[in-house]
Structure 1
Amino acid sequence: MKLQHYLGGLEGLGPVSTETRVFVEEWEKRIFGIHTAMMALSPQLPLPATPSEFRTVWTWADLRKGAESLNPFEYFKFRYYEKWLGGISGYFIDNGYITAEELDALTDEYLSDPSKPLPTGGSPAIDERVVQYLVDGDSPKREATVSYEFEVGDTVNIKNVPSVAHTRLPGFLRNKSGTIETVYEGAYVYLCDTGSDGIGAPMPVYCVRFEPEELWPNNAEQNFSLYADLYAHYVEAPATSGTRA
């Protein structure tokens, strides 16, 4: 479990960035575009075939896993799209699209000559698929029959599930208790199977309300609640003995 997942309530992590610009530098727009095109061309989507050579699955989960694989000290050092750049670059290397040596050589080439023209080309079919993806989206909601273990008003505990590469459960909620605020209709999947973390297949999602004193005892402001949408696998009934599993 990475330090990045335990930020809630931690102190002394350094100054908080107040940057309000979506893109700080021009190259960040290109990284956003590359990520969007990769998602649109990912082969699991039911979209028209294109001549693209992109042949492997890429989702928001893969982007997050790439960023979270960074050493925590590196993670906190880089800005938002710098993390994206690292994750995407590592993905292309790991999947054989380019070698680390080739990437380093191209980087040196463009650093030595910033005015060097970028590659051109592309295909109208690729452009059309990207546009269709942006219009259609990729909803996590699925038509599946599921049973709901909890209802609005129930008190629940949050599990401390084992996580390796990626999780959707914030660290500061683990082993805490809350109240079911909303039971979302339908079943929801995640973008990938997270293994021991336990999500991926269609399951219910609950909105859970937490009180600040439960999350940060003797160290929280009052008169507010924190809400988190959590997959059913993360939520369990309180232990009858009064102790948490």
Structure 2
Amino acid sequence: MKLQHYLGGLEGLGPVSTETRVFVETWETRIFGIHTAMMALSSQLPLPRTSSTFTTVWTWADLRKGAESLNPFDYFKFRYYEKWLGGISGYFIYNGYITAKELDALTEEYYNDPSKSVPAAGDAAIDDRVVQYLVEGDSPKRDTNVSFDFAVGDFVSIKNVPSIEHTRLPGFLRNKNGTVETVYDGAYVYLCDTGTDGIGAAMPVYCIRFEPEDLWPGNAEKNFSLYADLYAHYLEAPAAASAKQAA
């Protein structure tokens, strides 16, 4: 998110795609379906048992980490669902479901014969589990007692946390100040532990309002505000931020 993964506020990056279709090509729907099935089969929700051999955990965070680990030049070269495909493929190789050699051989087969049929589905239990997962969802909200350090109207500073693998903090908000617009009820977990980035366990989430002129001085439109939902770990009181800078 500090590099190619979040580009908000940067200039001179070339034309911006305005494509509005969710899926541009048919194969993209299959990638989305594979991703959804992987989440459903690894979910800890009380869902129907299946005969699937998929035994590891796959979440949105794993998908994002797979895309974000790409070489920056590849990241810009590939389309949206191509990044998904790369992340999913890498995950299956890393977890031993298939070897890179086997995947390359299968890829070559389909390149040589595009009309070659793909494996057919047919396990009703897996289908039922995926459908139930889609219907019920998997909420990150937890009904646990947490303390709220900030209230609506509080002025807060955004930390510049040390991120290594994955973060949910946009780069252009780091070291900036904003105002608490909403304090969400309850506590919210993240899909994985982000290490030094600091999120994973259940914690409060706040909606913070930022003024564009403060984010991009002298280079922002007027008469609107920018809002971001941020985990509590990313926030601190302005006094604490000033003390760190002084030190």
TM-score tier, shorter chain, comes to over 0.9
Q: Residue by residue, what CA displacement relative to the aligned partner does 1:82-131 show, whole Å, maximum 9, x if unpaired?
A: 11011001110111000111101000101111111111243111111001
Counterpart of 1:83 in structure 2 is: 83
Change (3 A) 1:241 1:73: closer
Counterpart of 2:32 in structure 1 is: 32
SS in 1 for 2:87: helix
| 1:186 matches 2:186 | yes
| 1:211 matches 2:215 | no
On the 8 A contact 2:141/2:188 being kept in 1, the answer is yes
Q: TM-score, normalised by structure 1?
A: 0.96
Once residues 71 and 241 of structure 2 are traced to their aligned partners in structure 1, the CA distance between those partners, rounded to angstroms, is: 39
SS in 2 for 1:239: helix
Once the two structures are TM-superposed, the CA of residue 158 in structure 1 deviates from its matched residue by 0.2
Task: Select between 59-68 and 19-28 the one with higher mean Cα deviation.
Answer: 19-28
Which segments of 5 or more consecutive residues in structure 2 lack a partner in the other structure? none
Q: Which amino acid counterpart does residue 130 of structure 1 have in structure 2? A: V
Q: Residue by residue, what CA displacement relative to the aligned partner does 1:106-161 show, whole Å, maximum 9, x if unpaired?
A: 00101111111111243111111001000000001001100000000000000000
Which segments of 5 or more consecutive residues in structure 1 lack a partner in the other structure? none
Once the two structures are TM-superposed, the CA of residue 5 in structure 1 deviates from its matched residue by 3.9
Q: Which residues of 2 match residues 60-71 of structure 1 at below 5 A?
A: 60-71=60-71
Counterpart of 1:231 in structure 2 is: 231
Task: Select between 235-244 and 95-104 the one with higher mean Cα deviation.
Answer: 235-244
Q: How many residues are treated as equivalent by the alignment? A: 245
Once the two structures are TM-superposed, the CA of residue 4 in structure 1 deviates from its matched residue by 2.2
Counterpart of 1:58 in structure 2 is: 58
| 1:73 matches 2:52 | no
Once residues 220 and 37 of structure 1 are traced to their aligned partners in structure 2, the CA distance between those partners, rounded to angstroms, is: 42
Q: TM-score, normalised by structure 2?
A: 0.95
Counterpart of 2:153 in structure 1 is: 153
On the 8 A contact 2:157/2:241 being kept in 1, the answer is no
Task: Select between 111-120 and 149-158 the one with higher mean Cα deviation.
Answer: 111-120
Counterpart of 2:95 in structure 1 is: 95
Identity across the alignment (%): 81
Q: Which amino acid counterpart does residue 142 of structure 2 have in structure 1? A: R
Once the two structures are TM-superposed, the CA of residue 21 in structure 1 deviates from its matched residue by 1.4
SS in 2 for 1:3: coil
Once residues 115 and 155 of structure 2 are traced to their aligned partners in structure 1, the CA distance between those partners, rounded to angstroms, is: 60
On the 8 A contact 2:161/2:196 being kept in 1, the answer is yes
On the 8 A contact 1:157/1:244 being kept in 2, the answer is no
Once residues 13 and 71 of structure 2 are traced to their aligned partners in structure 1, the CA distance between those partners, rounded to angstroms, is: 15
